Each structure stands twice: as structure tokens, then as C-alpha cells.
A and B are shown apart, each in its own frame.
Chain A
Amino acid sequence: MMSSTAMVFVIDDDQSMRKSLERLLDAACYKVELFKSASEFLSRSAHAGPSCVIVDVQMPGLNGIDFQKGLTEHGREEQLVFVTGHGNIPMCARAMKGGAIDFLPKPFKPRQLLESVERALTRSAEQHRRASEKNHAGGLLERLTPREYQVMQLVATGMLNKQVGGELGMAEKTVKTHRAHVMQKLGITSVAELMVVLQKAEVPQVAKPGTKV
């Protein structure tokens, strides 16, 4: 079970369903917020911590599927758990492909729901972590000057300083200097560590020049 920063959001147009879900989740010691419609939820700003959204697929106004698409488009990271009074396979498939945690037809076993919620929160937390690491790494990289960046990119491919110099039209000495700066700014000591940083920042690898693809 996660810490108090985790939130569970319930979106359902049916009142008794909402109420019963709240009870259920509360009994499981989750923090819950209820919404009557998807647009109501969207008007609330994104939650800082890990979050899970339980959403009914068939709702008047914005339905679940469109809601899912909308979230993705706006880059929101909430994890969705779909519930439905009447589901069919195509609907389920679409939901899952869209990145939902689970798709549960009503009436569902409460245990199933809770498991999905847990999974969703975990994933959400994971996402948050990754996001913050990315931010951090990205911030580090921004400290580099353009020349330093170029050098760093080529070094990351495993090229020797001399090769880097030749590629960039720099003296080896200059390369070395840049390299040292990069190491210092990023707080690393090795190329391996550099790789890690780049990975975290999710910077795409540059192909080594001359390599035959």
C-alpha cells in the first residue's frame, strides 16, 4: 500500500454506484474523490502524486474511451481503471490498447477492483519517479554549452577524443577540455555514468559516424 500522497478518483454518472465505490475504497483505506462526469474531473488540476481513476465507459457526455484519449493527448499520467455495465470485446480491447490498467464489467468482485487500483497506483508512482528523474537529468544536460553537448554526444557513442576532434574539427586538447567540463557539470566520472544520465533524460542516441548500418 502506498503512502497518503496517492489518490483514487471515481467518475460515474450513477449515484448509487458512486457512493458504493467510495465506501469500498474507503474501507480499503484509499483516499477517494468522486466525480459525476469526465469533464468535471478534467476541470480539476492534475494530482501531484500517484493517482488512479476509476471511470465508467458508458456515460452521457464524454464517454470513457474519449476520456482516455483526451488524457493521453494532454499528457496526463493518471492510470485508468475502466468499469462498465455492459461491455463488449472490441470496447475492452480498445481500452486496454489505450493504456488502461484494467477493464472490469459490472458487477465486479470488489477484490478485483482493489487489486487493479493497487496496480494502478504502483504504476502511477513509478511514472512519477521516472518523470522526476527525467526532469533532473534534463536539467543537468541543460547546463552544457552547445559545443560541450556535441562533444558529449559523440563521446557517448564510444569515440576516442581524437576521433571526436576530427569529427567536430576541434583539437584533441579542446575536446579534452570540453569533456572534462561535461563530466564536471553532470557530476559524473565515467562514460558509463554518462550513459545512465542520458538514458534517464531519455535523450535519443546518436549513431556513431562511419558505422555501417
Chain B
Amino acid sequence: MSWITVIWSVGGGACLTLAFIQFIVWWKNRAARANLVFSVLAIAVASFAALELALMRAQTPEQFGEVVRWLHVPVWVMIASLVAFVRLYLRAGRPWLAWAIVGVRTLSLILNFTFWPNINYRQITALRHISFFGEPVSVATGVPNSWMLVAQLSLLLLIIFVSDAMITVWRRGDRRQALFVGGGILFFVVLGTADGVAIGWGLVSMPVTVSLFYQCLVAAMAYELSYEMLRAAQTTRRLQASETELRETNQRMGLAANAAKLIVWSWDILHDEVWLSGKDRSLLGFSQSEKLTAERARSVVHPEDRQLVRQLVENSLTTGEEIDAEYRIKLGDGSVRWVTRRASVEFGDDGKPVCERGVLMEITERKLAEQALVESEARFRNMANTAPVMIWMSDINKLCTFLNKTWLEFVGRTIEHELGNGWSENVHPDDLQNCLETYVEAFDDRQPFVMQYRLKRHDGEYRWISDSGVPRYDAQGKFIGYIGSCVDVTELLRKEEALREFEERVALATEATQLGVWEFDLTTERIWVSEKVREHFQFPAEGEITYREFEQRVHPDDRRARDQAMRRAIRTHGAYETEYRIVLPDGTIRWIGGRARCLPEGDGKSRRLLGVSMDITERKQAEKLFELATEASPSGTVLIDHQGRILLVNAHAEKLFGYARDDLIGQVVDVLVPPRFVHAHSTDRANFFAAPEARAMGAGRELFARRKDGSEFPVEIGLNPIQTPRGLVVLANVVDISARLAAEEVTRRNREQVELLGRVSLLGEMTASLTHELNQPLGAIVNNANAATQYLEQGRLNPEQLQEILTDVVRDARRAHDIMRNVRSAIKKGSALRGQINLNDVVKAVTHMVHPDAAAQLCKMEMSLAPDLPAIECDPTQIQQVLINLVRNAFDAMHDTPPGRRILEIATNHNGEGTISVVVRDYGSGISETARDRLFEQFFTTKEEGLGMGLAIVRSIVEAHGGSVAAENADGGGACFHFRLPIKEGIPQ
């Protein structure tokens, strides 16, 4: 019996058996790849063992070499499967190393077959037989092949690889596996390798026994695998037990969940099986028996929410975190429910999710409620935003929580500004205090409130707002704040203000105009009267007035007319005006003027009269007065309208024109005008109406009027325009001036006489001047003549001298003649020779004329003449006369004045009003009181020998020139006589 054969065979056989077993295991569970690899390894080792046996029985070196050669094949398989095993079973070892090993080993295999006999030996020289375990075995002697190193390199790498894997597993924490499996593999590999190397390099002389080590390795690995199998069986049993337990637990949970309306589920992730309780299955529309995958289970989720759920699950599977989500599921009966999901994931040892367990809770009611709330809120918001009023809400802290769009648009600010207390920034500073107080007060009492304040609009204008708020409560009756609305009442307030003002004005107006207002209700026959009416009619201050009482007051004579007017108005739905008398309780009679109008009702009939009344007694009296005045006028009064028709004549006019009143009224006024003037008269009339003003008619013209019998008489007519409601009328005042004209004629003639007298008397009083004037030339003539005679006697007279003398004589003679002629002309009445005369010249002439007199009286004359005196139209001789009179009077007045003070001042002045004044002032005795009033009278004189005509003539002349004369005592003594002449008649300056 060969023990070697036995051992090796048994060993090989055992390996094969183990390989077979493990192969079956793998067959059953394809996932157990490590087992497959093991079986491959075991087969390889068995082959190795067989070949090793063959090696030991080799007879010839060639045989030996051949076997060694074929030995490398199972060795390759062995190494490769060992590497694979480590990788699969231990799940460790660097992959690149693994590939390196396989690569190198493959290389060595290829090399092995290229060399003869094999990679180990270059040459096998001999075969020896040694005793190994009492048997002869073949041992080769030969030349080792250096290429053997390649093979040995792979073994070295293998050792490194396994060591590294071992360390990795150790580090991983699987100490047992590292040590036993890794360590074991390492141990046997090292030994085998050492043995192989030793034999290969001929270091020892023994047969190849490497396979022994590997057999041991196989055995160890088989044990390991079996151990695993055992454990797996145990685990399975436990698992089954757990599963049963789980099922039970689930069922219990399911019951509980059902009771609590929860759907409980668990999802076996590995097997993708979802467990649901039977009830839940039917609830969700699943059959009791069908296998539920996660996918299938999720089919109940509402399509819209599936994505969400998928994400949820993914999230929890990866991160293990659970996010609350709400989604819809469809029940078996088709109804949709809202659920919320809560699950937790269990992870296995390998970090992979193993199982997920969760709960679905129905939240349909809540969800619906929420939705309903959201909808209702949305509806509310929508309504609030489209409301024309501003709406606000506040919470229990009085802070504003909501303002609708209308508010925001009004103030032009964003919601962020307004919430809380921001809204109060828009309130007018003056109103803010009050506003807040009202709000707070009401709020604290949970009372509704109304307040008004000014709110700043987006355009900056402050508008009056009426804000009303009420407390609000939730469904449970708890107070949750206030809600309110605001309305812009600015216009309303303005209107109220306007109305108030209007009413005031009306009241004021009626008060001012003393109008009484009344309203008469036809149906009740009651009258409402204002205070003024009560006053006018002397009704009591309080109390109702009936129509009867009102009518009682009306004067009996006027009742009918008034009543008729009113009834007519009622019938025609119109208005009426009346004037009537009333008899007051105390007996006085007043005139009342009134206007009334029917107020139509909706149906077109009138039931009410609205009227105003006024006390027109004064006016009536005034009218009466006017009539009386007109009648009593001493001049004729004719009232003419703008067409020239006579409206009114008074009694005097009748007398003047010789017509009866009625004959004239309605006639055109031309009947009173002489035919030749009619045309001009119409023109005048038209002109007058175009520019009506009170004035005399036909200024500058002589006017004539015509009587009924055709005779004419001179008239003066004054025109007065009067505005009446019916238009403009003219009141013409006609005065017959024939008598006056005659008187004027007489006066004129008188004056002329007086003037003549005056001139004559003046002449008499000019003696002194005259004498002086004449004596000068005459005296000169005498002197010249005498001188000539003397010269002649002395023989000194030459012809030239004589010529001179004679010339002078002739001149003086002529002078004398002229003087006489002037005197003559002064006496003559003559037509008033008027021309443009400068008064200064007149004054100078007069001064010259009277200076002899002045000298004789030792009076000094002073002239102060205004320069640039305008010329006036006058008769110079007459003015001279005036001046001479005044001057002579002045001289006489200064008779008793001391000579040094005998001064006569004549002054001319141009006055602003278009007149020239001449002043003659003396320092004489002045004008006495008695004389003053009679100064300018005819035949009034204070002189012993005076005619009394001087000043009368002065006045006559001055007035004929359109001027005036006056006299008074002057300051400082003496009198001052002054007269004034207009520069130009009727021409404005």
C-alpha cells in the first residue's frame, strides 16, 4: 500500500468532494460566487495533487519534465481562483494587484510552454529515487530555469496581495475573518511557495509536495464556507421567525391603525414587497393576495402628486430623513383623500436600505377645511380689493393686519409701509391724536366706532375720511381683532358746508330785503309763513295760520283782485304778482307786494304755492308823492319814452301847451315842437337816449315850443333820464321863459344906459388926468416958442435949431389933439369892440393915464403883473374904465392916509380855472360894515360928491364879460377890489 498514493488520492478526492458541495451551494444561490470560485480552486488543487502524484511516480526525466510542464496549468487556475476568492469572499485586496498576479502568472504559463521541458528546468539530467515515507519517489536533478522567477514572482505578489487583503479586513473590523481566512490563506500560500522555491532551485532534495499545503488551504476554506452556511441557515431560521413576528406585529398594527384611521405599511425594499393590512388592502382597492410592489402601492397616489411622492421616497432612501408631505390618494371606491405620510427607513449592515415602515394619516377634513379657508380668504380678499371703500383689519394688538387695494391705491403706498401702525402716518397731524384715542378707547371696550379724520391722499391732498370699525370674532366667539371701512366724505362735507352757507345766505338775503316767505298748501288750506311775514302781517310769533286768517288781513277792496290772480295762477300752474293793502289789527294800512308760484307735484297737479312778500308801503307812498310833486310843479312836466311818446303830463304842462291831459298822452312829442325844429328835435332825442344824462336841452340854442293853437313861445327845457323796469324814459321840465326874456331885455337896456352914464361920469372924474395930459404938450409948445424968440433976439438962432424947435412944436400939438380925440371916443357908446387883449397892457395904460392924479394925491402906484398872461377877449376901453374907476376910488380912500403909506397895488394873475383876476389894493380907510353890502349898487356912494355909479358900472362891465367882481377889507388896512374875467367863453382849458 502506498501511503503517498493514499494520502494524495484522499486529499484530491476530498478536494473534489468539497468542490462538488460548494458548486451545489452556488447552483442554489447564484449570488454565492465565492463558493463557485472555491469549487474551481478545489478542482484545481485536486488536479494539482494528481499531477504531483504522477510526478513522484515518474520513471524517466522526460516524463518528469512533461508532468511538471502540465502542472502549471492547474497551478494557474489555482492562483487565479485564489485571487478571485479573496476578492469575493473577503471583499478586499487591491484589484490592480489581482490583475498583476493573473497577468504575471499567465506570462509564466506561456513561458512554461515555450520552454522545454518547462519553466522550472532547463534540463533534467537525471532522476533519482529517494525514500519518502518509506517509498521511493522520483526526484529530478537538473539545471534550474531562471525563468522560474517569473512564476515565483507571481507567488510573491500573491502573498502581498493576500496580506494586504487581510489587513483591509482587519481594519474593517472583521477580525475573525481577517485572521482566520486571510491568515490561513497566507500561511499556506507562504509555505507552499517556500516549498516550491526550495525544490525548484534545488535547495532541498525532496519531491514536490506543494499541493499538500494547498489541500490544507482548501480544507480550511471549506470549513470557513461551511461555517458560513451554517450561519446562513441559522440566519434564515431567525429571519423566518422574525418575519412571522413581523407579520403578526403588522397585523396588530394594522388593527390599531384601522382603529385610528391610519394606514400602516411596510416595505421590504430588498424584495420590493409592500405589506398592507387586509382592511387597508381592500380600502385602497388592492386584492388580498396580490403582491404589492412599491410601484403598485404608489399607484393609489393621485397622478398630480406622484412626482412629489417619488421624490420623497428617494430622499428618505438616500438620506434616511423623512419629510412631511401631504398628498392625495385614491381609494378603492374612487374617492380621493388627503393623507400625510410618516415613515422611517431601516438600513442594513451594508448601508443599504432594507426596509421602510410608514403610516398614512388621513387629513382630508383638515385639508378641505384649509382649502375652504384659503378659498374663502381669497374670495374675501378679492371682494375687499374690488370694493369701492377702503377696508382694513386689525389684530388683537390693535395693529393693522390687512388693508385692501382701495386703501393702498388711495394713499399711494405699499402694504409694507401701512401694516402695523404705518397707516397712521397718512393721518393729518391735527387729527391723529383724536383718531388714535377714539380707536383705542373703542377697541378696549370691544365697541364699534365711527370717527372722522383727514387722510393724505397719494397726490398730497388731505381728504376727510369717515372710518367705522367693528370688533370681529372667530367661530368660537373669541375676539380676534377689528374690521372696518373708510369712505372719502370730503365732497359730502363740502356739500354740507355749501348747503349751510347757502342757507345762511338765503336767510341773510331775505333778512336784508325784508322778504317774507310763505308756502300755502291747497289741500289743507294751511299756510306756513316765515318770521318776516308774521312781522309784516302782525301775526303771532308762534302758531299755525290758516288761509282764512290770512285773507282777513287783506283790505276788502283788494281781496277780489288778489284772489282772482291767485286762482288763475293755480289753474294754469303758473305764477302771479300782486300788490294789495292789508289792514293790521291796530288799524294801520300797509301795502304788500308779492309774487308766488305753483309747485308742481309728481303727477303734474299743483297742490302748493310758494311765494315771497314785501312791505312796499314806502314805495307806494313815494309813488304817490311823486305824482303829487309832478302835479304841483310850477313848470310843465312831460314824461316821454324812447320812441318819443308822451307818457305823462302834469297840470302845468296842460296849461302851457293848451291841451287836455288825455289829448297828449300817447301822442308823439313832436306835436309840441315847432315844425321847423322837428327834425333837429328827433336827432336830439336820439342823441339823448344814446348818452342819457341830466342836462339842459339844446344848450346854446334858443328853444321854442308850440301851443295847441299853433302859437310859439320861448322855452327852457331840462331833461332827466329815468330808468324804469320798462326801459329808459325822459322827464322833461318845460319852462316858459317869455317873461324872463322880456325882463332880460329891459335889464340889458338899463345896463346900457347905466354904462353910458358911467362913461360920462368917468369922464368928469378924469379931469386931472386929462388936464395933465394936455398941459404937457401945451407947456412944451410955449417953452419952445419962447426959447426960439429969445434965440432970435440974441441973434443965436440958426436954421437947424429952428427946424428942430418947430418939429417938436408940431408933434406936441398933435399929441394934444390925440388926447382930445380919445376923450371923445371914450364918451361914445360905440359897439363893444372886443379883441384879444392882454390885460397887462390895459393895466399899464391905465397906470400911465392916472399917474398925474396919483402924483396930485401923492399916491404911489405899484404894479405886479403876471408874466405870460394869456390874452382874453374883451373890450379894452371898458376894462380901462373898470380899472380907472377902481383906481380913483382907491386914491380917494387914501385921502387921510399919511403920504408915505399911500400905496396902490395893481396885480394881475392867471388863475387855474381859466380866468384872469385883477386886484386893486389900497391902504386907505377900508370898507365899512354898512357899505359892504351895498357897494356895487347903483347910486350908492360914500363920497360927498359922488354919483354912486362907479362900482355899479364896474360890475356891469365885468359881468357882461362873463366875469365877477368882489371887494373886501385887506389885511394891514385898506380895501381890496378884485374882478375875474374868463379867458375864453365856454372853451375848456
Contacts and interface: CB of A to CB of B under 8 A. Distances in A.
Co-complex (A, B): yes
Interface of A: 14, 16-17, 19-21, 23-24, 26-28, 57-60, 63-66, 83-88, 91, 105-110
Main secondary structure on B side of the interface with A = helix
Interface centre among B780, B812, B815 (most CB of A within 10 A): B780
Interface in B773-796: 773, 775-784, 786-788, 790-791, 794, 796
Contacts of B853: 86
A86 B772 contact: yes
Looking at B771, B858, B861, which has the most chain A CB atoms within 10 Å of its CB? B858
Given A20-B808, A24-B790, A58 B783 contact: no
B776 A85 contact: yes
8 contacts: A16-B815, A20-B808, A23-B805, A24-B783, A58-B851, A85-B773, A106-B775, A107-B782
A23 B783 contact: yes
Nearest to A28: B790
A26 to B, nearest CB: 7
Interface of B: 768-769, 771-773, 775-784, 786-788, 790-791, 794, 796, 805, 808, 811-812, 815, 851-856, 858, 860-861, 899
A65 B790 CA distance: 31
Given A23-B784, A85-B772, A86-B768, A17 B779 contact: yes
Contact of B854 (A16, A58, A106): A58
Given A19-B808, A86-B771, A88-B856, A14 B776 contact: yes
Nearest to A83: B779
B800 to A, nearest CB: 13
B443 to A, nearest CB: 114
Contacts of B780: 14, 16-17, 19-20
Contact of B855 (A59, A105, A110): A59
B778 A24 contact: no
A16 to B, nearest CB: 4
Contacts of A24: 783-784, 786-787, 790
Contacts of B861: 60
Given A23-B784, A26-B787, A16 B777 contact: yes
A27 B899 contact: no
Contacts of A64: 855
Contacts of A85: 771-773, 775-776, 779, 852
Contacts of A58: 772, 851-852, 854-856
A108 to B, nearest CB: 7
Which of the listed residues B769, B771, B861 has the most CB atoms from chain A within 10 Å of its own CB?
B771
A84 B851 CA distance: 12
The winner among B768, B855, B856 for most chain A CB atoms within 10 A is: B855
In the complex, the 5 A-B pairs of residues with the closest C-beta atoms, listed nearest first: A58-B855, A20-B783, A27-B790, A106-B779, A23-B787
Give the most central of B794, B854, B856, B899: most A CB within 10 Å.
Answer: B856
Contacts of B860: 63
Given A27-B794, A63-B855, A87-B856, A17 B776 contact: yes
B892 to A, nearest CB: 14
A105 B784 CA distance: 17
Contacts of B790: 24, 27-28
A60 B791 CA distance: 33
B117 to A, nearest CB: 193
B932 to A, nearest CB: 30
A86 B805 contact: no
Contact of B808 (A16, A87, A88, A106): A16
Nearest to B812: A16
Given A21-B783, A85-B772, A85-B852, A27 B791 contact: yes
Contacts of A105: 775
Nearest to B772: A85
B775 to A, nearest CB: 4
Nearest to B774: A85
A85 B860 CA distance: 17
Contacts of B782: 20, 107-110
Contacts of A65: 858, 899
A109 B769 CA distance: 22
B816 to A, nearest CB: 11
A63 B858 contact: yes
Contacts of A83: 779
Contact of A86 (B783, B787, B796, B856): B856
A109 B784 CA distance: 12
Nearest to B776: A14
